[in-house]
Amino acid sequence: MASNDSDRALIKGALDLDPWLEPFSQGLIYRQKEFRRWYKDLQNSEGSLLKFADSYKTYGIHGNHQTKEIVITQYIPEVEEVSLVGDFNNWNTETHKLNKVNNFGLWSLTIPPVNGQFAIAHDSRYKIAMKLSSGEHIYRLDPWAHRATPNDTHTVYEGRFWNPETEYQFKNKRPQIHSPQGIRVYEAHVGISTPEPKIGSYKNFTQNILPKIHELGYNTIQLMAVMEHAYYASFGYQITSFFAISSRYGSPEDLKELIDTAHGLGIRVLLDVVHSHASKNVEDGLNNFNGTDHYLFHGGARGNHDLWDSRLFNYTNHETLRFLLSNLKFFIDVYQFDGFRFDGVTSMLYKHHGLSFGFSGDYNEYFNPDWVDVEAIVYLMLAHQMMDEISSQQSIEFTTIAEDVSGMPTLCLPISAGGVGFNYRLSMAIPDMWIKILKHLSDDQWDLHNIVHTLTNRRHGEKCIAYAESHDQALVGDKTIAFWLMDKEMYTNMSTLTELTPIVDRGLSLHKMIRLLTFGLGGEGYLNFEGNEFGHPEWLDFPRVGNGESYHYARRQFNLIDDDLLRYKFLFRFDGAMQHLDEKYGVLDTPQAYVSLKHEGDKVVVFERNGLLFIFNFHPTQSFPDYKVGVEAAGTYQIVLNSDAEEFGGHSRIQELDANGKPQQYFTNKEYWNHRANSLFVYIPCRTAIVLQLQQKV
């Protein structure tokens, strides 16, 4: 009985929050016990979890700037010999052979200085050479390499010994997000962050894009495609070198400067990390590294993701955990990232990887032992435990976001409450909903009940990040919301010198309203993909054979918002006003909104959140001069955001100032309305959203 009570204590928080988990308590307990078993084993074998994750300091190749010695340590089982080869020794496999440290695949070599200098020059090329039992020699990139660059004559990447004499020194502390403001994420890709048809740089992003993000009011950047990937068009999701950052954007010191500058602006930076799978590349990736199919990966069919054409990690392998946990700590320590957005979490959570599986919300789908991959869940728990320990030691606040479409219960609960540890999950159903609506329904067919349900349908106690569209909707083959709304007229009728056409008028109005509704109702955080805030007119397509290796669509045209004669500036300003609404009043990280009205005929939605009153009129033609809405708190209200304002490209139909030039006041009546204690009258023009704030209680 005592044992059973202690087991249940591991998941008490989860059960208290969601009693429907009770029939699946054994599955939850098993995850927790497996995590604790692994945690104890790592403490006993490595000293502590943090020491284990510090392996990046010893594994790989490192130069000691005091002694000028170079030490290389590698885990390479099932080979006869290991050598370090490169420009420094004319790629000779005989001169720098590593010594076998133990029978578990560990090899090491210390290279003394030559004439008082490092024997291997900074940024020179090197590889790991291995002799197999067959006598064959194979050559591979160092799995722990901090730098990899493409060869001048072919596309295969080459490892570089990154050992600068001086490294970038961080000047700014990591900023924190102070409640009640929530996390406002600007999802960005350094390479496309330039109007020119070329690859953008870390320095360009630092100088030209960070100021725009700061102006908009986002407090977090999620950097995509940073970990080195040989194929640019993979969008960074086919990683070849996990400890190297993409050299196509610049140097490691350039990325450090970017992150440090962002911190100086009060902006936190998250890394889009891919630990769900790895590239199949052999020459410049991890695949078949030591001549076997199971180096860090599952062997056989289980080690392959057929749809993604990639390799799958073996999370029960001690050295795989060392590699992945060290990878996270490396980016925390060396680059000062403030957390991670974990890609492909659904694929990790389930043995079927979510392929052709329609999640219905039935709890059996989340706990079926034949479907759920507990090994991957334990890895994710170890990762969060590691970050919790760093946070405790260094008073650092980390943020983790799960890309999970399944809705796995407890994913975003602390480990101490019986959860996996994530802070947020992405609300992936929301953008799908908006695209379906814009693609298939006319304005009068919009189902407000369904829209509100989708925006508010999230697990109690587990935070979500809402978004109307992300990079997924920007990719070629799909359309952004702006493109669904305005299509080809974005090329011809976005100038303020031309007449405002019905299509562009509708597009501008609904683009703002869709975002504000998602922002206000959809979650405890908000995300936007770069360029979409101003209605970027083109999709995203990376250079590839199918488009003639063109960079025309692999860019973001920020020049459009700098042109005062174009209407893109209106959407940019509104997006900024929306972010500052949360900054000033607190919308996101507050209790879920109370929706008092969803009127299908009028196409009006009304809700309250943290003292703000949101009113939306989605009707395409009908304006309401004295519309009665319910509100709980009695007093005087005034407008703090109006999508119809002239500065946002609206028609200025609402008089925001009175005869004395002061903000127009809205007074409540002591009349119960729509299940609220009070009511007030407002003018809401068609296709307009307004937000009112209580100025004075009575």
Write the DSSP assignment of 106-137 as a string of letters. Answer: EEEEEE--BTTB-SS-TT-EEEEEEE-TTS-E
Q: Are 206 and 194 in contact (CB under 8 A)?
A: no
Strands of the sheet containing 60-63, edge to edge, are 60-63, 70-75, 106-111, 99-100
Signed CA dihedral, 187, 191, 194, 198: sign only: negative
Contact indicator for 658, 664 with CB cutoff of 8 Å: yes
Rg of the Cα trace of the chain? 27
- Distance, CA of 140 to CA of 290 (rounded, Å): 8
Please confirm, yes or no, whether 403 is among the known catalytic residues.
Answer: yes
Span between the terminal Cα atoms of the chain, in Å: 56
Element (H, E) at 502: helix 502-521
From 54, 187, 257, 403, the catalytic residue:
403
Q: How many helices (H) and strands (E) does the chain have?
A: 19, 29
Query: How far, CA to CA in Å, does 143 sit from each of 241, 256, 324?
Result: 6, 21, 11
In 3D space, the residue among 561, 562, 540 whose CA is nearest the CA of residue 480 turns out to be 540
Q: 39 in helix, strand or coil?
A: helix
Q: How far is CA 613 from the centre of its chain?
A: 30
- Cα 579 to Cα 319, 516, 686: the distances in Å are 43, 10, 24
Smallest CA-to-CA distance from 455 within 528, 533, 516, 366 is with: 516
**What CA–CA distance (Å, rounded) separates 559 from 66?**
48
Query: CA-CA distance, 346 to 312, in Å (whole number)?
Result: 13
- How would you classify the pairing of strands 688-697 and 612-617? antiparallel
Residue 130, Cα to own-chain centre: how many angstroms?
37
Measured distance CA(84)–CA(126) in Å, rounded: 7
Measured CA to CA, the distance from residue 266 to residue 259 in angstroms comes to 11
Output phi, psi for 404, to 5 deg: -130, 120
Could you say which of 158, 272, 319, 343 is catalytic? 343
Write the CB contacts of 557 (distance below 8 Å, at least 6 apart in sequence). Answer: 195, 531, 536, 537, 538
> Is 94 assigned a catalytic role?
no
State the DSSP code for 64: -
Helices 429-440 and 448-456, axial angle in degrees (round to 10): 160
Q: Which residues are catalytic?
A: 343, 403
